Amino acid sequence: MGKILIAYYSRRGENYVGGVVKKLKQGNTECVADKIAALTGADSFRIETVKAYPAGYTEMTEIAMQELQSRERPALAGQIGDMEQYDTIILGYPNWWGTMPMCVFTFLEAYDFTGKKILPFCTHEGSGLGHSMEDIRHTCPGAYVKGGLAIRGSSAASSDSLVQEWLMQNTFTN
């Protein structure tokens, strides 16, 4: 088996969790990405934007909707030096407006994923994976997109067994 990369976008600070807006020291998606890293020993890459989103949750969702409507591709603060070394990408993101944040599209469009496995996981508060799986397939037509995992953000901290089962089903088999 080749190398695995965990690439994820996560939002710290104000988030919608369990029906209320809470301030989080660690974003829900980052929490799950850390669990995956501990189980797999994979390399991790945090997708970060050059321009920070507003600190307030409501303001951030308004910007996220504007980006989605205009199909904006926010500039990223970093990149993967040698994507060729990875054959499996575990891709994490929160579900924003039914799909991935636009910065995750920026990340996907920056590399050639032909022949690579992509294992998507998202955190959400009721909308599951939305149409993000279809969006990944459309954005990365040469990739093999495997079964996605949707975890409620309010359950991210206690999702160990769910994450482990998903990895067993998807990471180590074709």
The CATH number linked to 145 is: 3.40.50.360
Task: Give the best-scoring range by mean pLDDT among 122-126, 136-140, 165-169.
Answer: 136-140
**Residue 97 carries which side chain, given as an amino acid letter?**
W
Give the number of residues written for the chain.
174
Mutual orientation of helices 160-170 and 28-40 as an angle, nearest 10°?
A: 60
pLDDT recorded at residue 145: 96
- The arithmetic mean of pLDDT across residues 104-133, rounded, is 96
> Would the CA dihedral through 85, 46, 121, 51 be positive or negative?
negative
Instruction: Give yes or no for residue 28 having a pLDDT over 80.
Output: yes
Residue 115, Ramachandran bin (φ over 0: left; ψ between -120 and 50: alpha; else beta): left
Residue 166, Ramachandran bin (φ over 0: left; ψ between -120 and 50: alpha; else beta): alpha
Task: State the DSSP code for 60.
Answer: H
Contact 123, 94 (CB under 8 A): yes
CA separation, residue 70 to residues 36, 60, 66 (Å) = 33, 15, 6
Contact 18, 125 (CB under 8 A): yes
Instruction: Domain of residue 144: give its range.
Output: 3-170
- The arithmetic mean of pLDDT across residues 17-34, rounded, is 90
Count: domains in the chain:
1
Tokens of 44: 């991790």
- The arithmetic mean of pLDDT across residues 52-76, rounded, is 93
pLDDT recorded at residue 174: 38
